[in-house]
Structure 1
Amino acid sequence: MRAILPLLFLFLLLNVCARADEQADEEKRKQFLKAREEMKTVPLTPAPETTPKPKPKPVRPAATPLPAATPTPAPKPPEPEVTPRPKPKPKPEPEATPRPRQTMLFPAGPTPGPARATVSAPVVIEKSGFEQQRSYEPAPSAGWFEKWKYLTKSVRNEIDRAPVLSRRWRYIVVHNSGTRQGNAKAFDYYHLHVRKMPNGLAYHFVIGNGTSTGDGEIEIGNRWKRQINGGHVHSDYLNNIALGICLVGDFNRDTPTKKQLEACEELIRYLRQRVGKIDRQWAIVKPHREINPPRWPTDCPGDRFPYRWIHGRFDQPGT
């Protein structure tokens, strides 16, 4: 019984507190409703309307009075025609003596003064030294070396037709083909397509041995007709001043035929006359291995080539 009394007292206390809170909430609600009724809505004042101003009317200018009519003057009598005198022709000014051109390293600067435009003078480049005009060598006369055995008329005409510059060819170099047969056409195909030489046949002349062409037959290459450098020596400088003659054959195993040597001698003598002398000296005749640069040794035209024959005929002065 004693344990129940405190619980009952606590329950009554909580009940009283709850009712007090309800009364306080009710009182606040009534005050809120009363205050809301007393509130007045303030109307918004509308903005004053702007009255548009009337546009001013354009004022027309007063009419300008027309000027009084001016009396027309009487026409003047026609004046007599005057024949114009011919104007004297201006005398031609004397030509100014041209000044020698000067080589300028840099363009000139702008020309001072407001009346002249800013112009840079062009750079003039001149070659140093004097370049002599080179003439063409005439063909030998018809009476020279009259007995022809291997140089036919067509071959001589082809040699004479080429435009040979004076002092161009200083050497005549003798080669062997290294093959026992062949001709200019076969060697041209090999040099053009296998060796990839853009001008084809490396020699200026080819002398046959009787296999693919006649024994001692002379063929003229395109390099002589066009007068361009050869491709037969391992030196660009020598190729530009040396004519190349190739004898068909392998002269490490065989010897040149008698007709080949005779045709070679006849061709060399004619070519010497055709290209002319340089410093009073005929073109120098050399076997290939005696003129090739030491860095590129060669056995051409072969160990069995008659070197005494070629030196005995063309090493003597005046020959």
Structure 2
Amino acid sequence: MIRPRNIFRWQFLLCLLLIFAGLAGRMTQAELTEEQKKQLFLKSRERMRTVPTPTPEESATPRAKPKPAKKPPAKKKKSTPKPTPEPEEAETPVRTPRPKDEETPRRTRRPKAEETPARRPAPEESTPSRKAAATAVPQPCPTPGRAGDPSAQVNVKKSGYQKPRGFSLLPFHLFGKRYKYLTNSVRKEIDRAPVLRERWRFIIVHNSGTRQGNARIFNYYHRNVRRMKNGLAYHFVIGNGTSSGDGEIEIGERWRRQINGGHVHSDYLNNISLGICFVGDFNRTQPTRAQLDSAEELIRYLRDRCGKVERRDIPVRPHKQMNPPRWATDCPGDDFPYRWFGQFR
């Protein structure tokens, strides 16, 4: 008889075998599932790889489009007819009688028309051009005569250099006269200057264009701002009562040294004309009575001191009649009483 303990052992062994068999089956199933997962992963990876393949195909299509643009070499066939007409057209104008037409006028014009008149009329044209400039000077004279000045613009003729004729002596009749604005100090400075005979041929009247000022201020402006080597451009300055006395006469260094002025836009006129500046802007106001009386005394004294020019007293003119027409000016201003100049005729 079989013992019950042995039966239990066999049953226990069978159970263990069944358990191991189940575990082995599960392990095999698990291995199969992992393989399947790998296969699925590989399949999905292949699909992922196949997805980007169409993108390069699409990008390849536009890249292939510029290729047909390179096909214009087919136009080379058209280049063959181009060389044929070019030499034909170039040859025909060269053989035309153009050189004949050019040769004939060149030979006739050079010796006949160019050589003879080019040399002769050059000096002839230069001479009348100067005369025309001289005659054109008096034309603008009527414009400044609005204020009642009958005199026309001065026509100055340049003359050659003249040797000094000696110094001009002070007339004796000036010693006994009495003056209101010509003080003793002013007259002494005027008399000390070494004035040559016929050195000064005009006396020109200006206005400063400013409401105030004096000789010292104008000297600083002309020397430091306008860079004039000799400073004050005028020979005399007559104050209006602002920066100097009303009718006060100030003498510039140009009179003391008897050098040319800088008050006219002409080197020649600056060399032969005295400049007297009234302080004031006479486009807005008129000169004071003291300025006019002081200028009258000064001008009469200067005419006696400098002597006569061509047996006549030195003429007195406003600036706008003496300045060249190319540089027209309204100095000494529209409100200046131009009839005042009539007493110096």
Give the TM-score normalised by structure 1: 0.57
Match status 1:159 vs 2:190: yes
Counterpart selection for 2:316 from 275, 282, 285: 285
Are positions 1:207 and 2:241 aligned together?
no
Q: Which has the higher contact order (CA 8 A, sep 6+)?
A: 2
Query: Residue 140 of structure 1: CA displacement?
Result: 2.8
Between Structure 1 and Structure 2, the one with more helix by share is: 2
Runs of 4+ with deviation above 3 angstroms: 129-133, 142-145
Structure 2: distance between partners of 1:184 and 1:143: 26
CA contact (8 A) 2:164 2:196 kept: no
| Aligned residue type for 1:140 | P
Corresponding residue of 1:175: 206
Deviations, residues 81-133 of structure 1 (Å, cap 9, x unaligned): xxxxxxxxxxxxxxxxxxxxxxxxxxxxxxxxxxxxxxxxxxxxxxxx99644
**Whole-Å separation in 1 of the counterparts to 2:278 and 2:192:** 23
User: Equivalents in 1 of 2:340, 2:259: separation in Å?
Assistant: 29
Mapped partners of 2:303, 2:182: distance in 1: 14
**Sequence identity, in percent?**
68
Of 289, 298, 305, the match for 1:258: 289
Where do 5+ consecutive residues of structure 1 fail to align? 1-128
- Structure 2: runs of 5 or more not aligned: 1-159
Structure 1 residue aligned with 2:343? 313
User: Given the alignment of the two structures, is residue 241 of structure 1 paired with residue 272 of structure 2, yes or no?
Assistant: yes
The aligned counterpart of 2:300 is: 269
What is the number of residues matched between the two proteins? 186
Partner Cα distance (1:130, 1:235) in 2: 17
State which structure, 1 or 2, has the greater radius of gyration over its C-alpha atoms. 1
**TM-score, length-normalised on structure 2?**
0.52
Query: What's the offset of the Cα at 1:139?
Result: 1.8
Q: CA RMSD in A?
A: 1.6
Other-structure match for 1:86: none
CA distance in 2, matches of 1:262, 1:185: 22
The 1:160–1:130 alpha-carbon spacing in structure 2 relative to 1, beyond 3 Å, is closer
What is the letter of the counterpart of residue 207 of structure 1? Answer: I
2-side partners of 1:226 and 1:289: how far apart? 26
1:196 equivalenced with 2:227 (yes/no): yes
CA apart distance, 1:141: 2.0
- The secondary structure found in structure 2 opposite 1:166 is coil
Cα distance in 2 for partners of 1:265, 1:294 equals 27
Superposed, 1:1-319 pairs within 5 Å as 132-141=163-172, 143=174, 146-310=177-341, 312-315=342-345
